[in-house]
Structure 1
Amino acid sequence: MIKFTKNVSVSSPIPQDSIDRVVRLIEAGKLFRYDFDLDPNESDPSTVMENELAAEVANLEREFSDYTGHRYTVAVNSCGSALFLGLKAAGVQYGDKVFTNALTFTAVPSSIIHAGAVPVYLECNGDYQTDLEDLEKKINDYPDVKFFMLSHMRGHISEMDAIRELCDREGIFLIEDCAHSLGTQWYDKSRKEYIHIGQHGKVSCFSSQSHKMLNSGEGGFLCTNDDHIAAYCILAAGSYEGLYEKHACKPLDKNLFEDIKLSVPNFSLRMSNLTAAVLRPQLANIEGTIAGYKKWFLKFRQVLSSASELIYLPEPPELVSRAADSMQFNLLEFSNEQVDEFVRRTAERGIKIQIFGRRDNARYFRNWKYSFEQSPRLGKTEKIVSCTCDMRLSLHFDESDINLLGYIIKDVAYGLLREEKEEREKQPDGAFRDHKNGVADAFGDSGGPIAARHEAWTRYDDEAYQENGRKILANYLAYQLTTYLNSSDRILDVGCGTGLTGMELASYGFTEIHGVDSSEASREAAQKRNVYREVRLAEWDSPLDMETESFDAWVFAGVLPPDQPPFGAFDALIRILKPQGLLAMAMRVEEEDFHYDKIKALYEKNRLKEVFREKIGVLDSANHEIIIARKIRSLF
């Protein structure tokens, strides 16, 4: 059993520049954000240096605004504090109702409770976005609600243009929770360019908690383009007397502050210079961080894509360019028991996955009992979160890590599906109609041309491939080839059938996949998969008409008639391999097996050398082995 041994929960590393800044701050004792002079003595270099050190938060606010495109930023001690400040700045009073997502983290409804308000929960759709129909319904049901705290949970962005239009029409104050969305962009049709997310609402809030794009342990930012909101939040965050003047990113009109400062409570939510010193070098390199996460996120999606019948990967709106630091997917048609077993088995193999809709998960709305007297009825969200898998990504990963993570997840999911089928189709005598029975049914005992019998197999192949364990074989074979081949190497899928092995190969990034099959129906089905450069038709019992030494590898994971080698003979197939090329097979190995005997004969002649061999049991009718051998010398 292959296991993942790296820690998937490792936070992003702190750069050395951040560490050096923190040390200098500690040595100078300048930890308080306002511990600097507006007019330092320029003739004293030590005073100037200490003054610069003490302005870490002020400088960070300006730099953060420059990055997101907001006019103003207020740095605070957490994103939850920023959300609370946003509600207070919006004018939320005790007892007011606030719309918010049912799919979010507990800090979001907690900030509403902290502000003395009452959450009204909205449904999500299958892509983890706000359900627009439910939003319109709730607006009609609750005409007195004038605030909406929209959470971009785990960086999944809703249809923001439509939501802003609804909020503007109904006079609803929109606050965006962008805790997981730093670096995500929205295409602004009017400006014909991408803008940073957080520009649809009047307030947007970001996080620098450890498992985000920026890592300071704790930290948050409130961003706005509104002068009055900015002035209120600067004061409410903890700027007393005339300290607001020490903000580098603030409205220039002092009257905005002087007119309200005695009426605004000081909630003491300031960010410290220590936190800012940790963050500023990270923000300077944020594009590199985002690129790293995007690379692994897109690679992970690609690996999982071949399991689309079991694993649903949410899609963002077409106007969104995501910057994701984690991965979410839904298990399709799995019972709660199967979902829990999936989590248990992946954990056993080193992958920590949590399900949103489980007891003690802070992302499950039923666990927010502090926010309601009666549990809300949210059937759509309930169904979605009951099978939503959540796992972190890490910049410590490399491509082989992503391949292994995806392999294990698919292997466990395929295995559960196979077990379900066995239980469902168990015969009275305890036998199963597995792959071996399917071959017998499809090929029959009446003889006839191989191609004709293979046409019958095509009708059986898709369902059988998914449910009887053969996809476990193809997944394992494709994964193992990532160790030996480059993504651009030419691979021939021999007896490609309807193309499901090709899909597994493509999911691991192989781009030069060619197919060959004796069935026209199979060839057409395989071509529609859009993973093959071409799919040729050839007689099963005739040599292939292909150029000598033209492929880096050929793979065979399909059905083999009991006494018939594919396409003439193994010699003919090996002819098309380049020197040092690979043959890779998932085959049934029994005593004096016809096919393996042929392979062993080529070992003995020093024409092939076995580089990998492992038994894998997935079917009741037979054991299988994955065999990878390298071509040592030409046969001709």
Structure 2
Amino acid sequence: MDLSFKKPSKNVRKAMCQASLDLGDREIETNHKRNAEDSLKELTRHEHARIVNSGNSAIMIAMSNIKGPVLLPDQGGWTGFKKIAEFLGLKIAYLPTNHGIIDLEILDDHIKLTNPQSLFITSFAGYMAEQPVKEIFELCDRRNVILVEDASGAIGDPQKSLACGDHAHIILASTGSPKIINLGNGGFISTNDPELFNYSNYLLKSFRTSPVMCAGMVEAIKNAPNSLSKILKACNFLKKKINPVLFEGYRGINITLPSENPKQMGRELRKRIPVEGGGIISTCPRYDRINQPAVCLEIKNLEIKCLKKDNLREISDITNKIISNYII
């Protein structure tokens, strides 16, 4: 079994290398930026898009426009949501969830209770399970709550359910490794509301990225739908082979395993499933996954070429042998 940690594709690196040779040519640099933003607008179906130097910068730009309480899921979100809201002095309210998955009735009740101005979610709760984003958006829109979707793990969704501007007021994402749009670093933010960028002009200038990253973005966007489809297919395959798993009936880009001793189980899995250049094992409880003892196989971290059925079968065989000793 030959597994390697995801890095920017050859086409992306080639485009970035060429763009680095063009540095200083303002016309070419402007074209790289324009082409990248146009590609993002087409992908997200939003009218406006900006490329920034990180996903957290995109979150800060979004939150800098928000004065009221910020509503966050009680688990399965992103730690940057909490940290940046605290940094900006914003009041945070936590939404009770079903292991990260949002229930619409509970959301509606909690909106009435906390009167938030915004809700920040990830497309997949903890990368584990798809959120009902369309339904969440429709509810938020009726209640005048701004829905911000962190689509780092879902950009290019072939079903157009996630990372789609029809279902989110704001979409943002990281484009660092090992995200779906993989540039090694960077991020973006998109919206149909031009005022978002007018109010955030200074931050956008402070967080702007290089034309080299913009050139890579154009190529990486081309890869995104195919990459996400293959990761989803691999996770679906593994969910059928490994027992027990959580969120068996949900789309997701990692595999979550209940465990009585996640740290020890994680150590054994790391030894048996080595990954060149990185790893795919994380342990819970943790806010950005699930608040219960568990081990996650972060399939999203692997190079797409590694997602062959022979490799996946071996991963499932190894996991099944180990997991029986740690089942809750």
Letter of the structure 1 residue corresponding to residue 288 of structure 2: R
Amino acid at match of 2:282: Q
Equivalent-residue separation in structure 1 for 2:204 and 2:324 (angstroms): 52
Give distance in 2, aligned partners of 1:157 and 1:230. Answer: 29
Q: Which amino acid aligns with 1:148?
A: L
Take 1:73 and 1:200, find their aligned partners in 2: how far apart are those partners?
16
The residue number in structure 2 matching 1:312 is 246
**2: distance between equivalents of 1:79 and 1:401?**
31
1:329 Cα deviation from its structure 2 partner: 1.8
Check the 8 A contact 1:313/1:330 in 2, yes or no. Answer: no
Q: Determine the structure 2 residue equivalent to 1:303.
A: 241
Aligned residues: 317
- Alignment check: 8 A CA contact 2:73 2:96 kept: yes
Which of 44, 61, 64 is matched with 1:88 structurally?
64
CA 1:131–1:340 in structure 2 vs 1: closer, same or farther (change >3 Å)?
A: farther
Change (3 A) 1:53 1:122: same
Q: CA deviation at 1:224?
A: 0.8
User: In the alignment, which of 281, 285, 293 is matched to residue 357 of structure 1?
Assistant: 285
Corresponding position of 1:11: 6
Give the equivalent residue in structure 2 for 1:392: 299
Match of 2:320 in 1: 410
Question: What pairs up with 1:235-634 in 2 under 5 angstroms?
Answer: 236-238=203-205, 268-304=206-242, 307=243, 310-316=244-250, 326-331=253-258, 334-335=259-260, 337=261, 339-350=262-273, 352-357=280-285, 363=288, 382=291, 385-387=292-294, 389-393=296-300, 394=302, 395-397=304-306, 398-416=308-326
- Name the CA distance, whole Å, in 2 between partners of 1:227 and 1:52: 25
**Could you state the TM-score of these two structures normalised by the residue count of structure 1?**
0.46
Q: Is the 8 A contact 2:239 2:255 kept in 1?
A: no
Task: Indicate the residue corresponding to 1:227 in structure 2.
Answer: 194
SS in structure 2 at match of 1:237: helix
Q: Is the 8 A contact 1:70 1:225 kept in 2?
A: yes
Write out per-residue CA displacement over residues 509-548 of structure 1, whole angstroms, 9 at most, x where no aligned residue.
Answer: xxxxxxxxxxxxxxxxxxxxxxxxxxxxxxxxxxxxxxxx
Match of 2:64, SS state, is helix
Conservation of the 8 A alpha-carbon contact between 1:79 and 1:219: yes
Deviation per CA, 1:76-109, whole angstroms, max 9, x where unpaired?
A: 11111112111223xx23xx42101222221121
Q: Which has the larger radius of gyration?
A: 1
Higher relative contact order (CA 8 A, sep 6+): 2
Superposed displacement of residue 158, structure 1 = 1.9
In 2, the alpha carbon distance for the partners of 1:269 and 1:353 equals: 31
Equivalent residue number for residue 277 of structure 2: none
Q: CA 1:220 to 1:53, structure 2 compared with 1: closer, same or farther past 3 Å?
A: same
C-alpha spacing 1:290/1:172, structure 2 compared with 1 (3 Å): closer
In structure 2, relative to structure 1, the CA distance for the partners of 1:28 and 1:185 (3 Å cut) is closer
Q: Distance in 2 between matches of 1:272 and 1:329?
A: 37
Label 1:225 to 1:118 Cα distance change in 2 as closer, same or farther (>3 A): same
2:107 maps to amino acid: L
The structure with the largest helix share of the pair is 2
Instruction: Tell me if structure 2 keeps the 8 A contact 1:186–1:197.
Output: no
Deviation at 1:182, TM superposition (A): 0.6
C-alpha distance in 2, partners of 1:180/1:344? 25
Structure 2 contact 170–189 (Cα < 8 Å) conserved:
yes
Whole-angstrom CA distance in 1 between matches of 2:64 and 2:97: 26
Question: 3-state SS of the aligned residue for 2:85?
Answer: helix
Can you list the C-alpha shifts for 1:366-424, whole angstroms capped at 9, x where unaligned?
A: xxxxxxxxxxxxxxx63xx322524234213122111100111111123456xx9xxxx
Structure 1 CA distance for aligned equivalents of residues 228 and 135 of structure 2 = 27
2:322 & 2:238 partners in 1: Cα distance?
16
- In structure 2, which of residues 1, 6, 16 is the aligned counterpart of residue 22 of structure 1? 16
2:80 aligned with 1:107, yes or no?
A: yes
Shift in Å, 1:157: 2.9
1:115 alignment partner AA: L
Aligned partners of 2:149 and 2:163 also within 8 Å: no
Partner of 1:56: 32
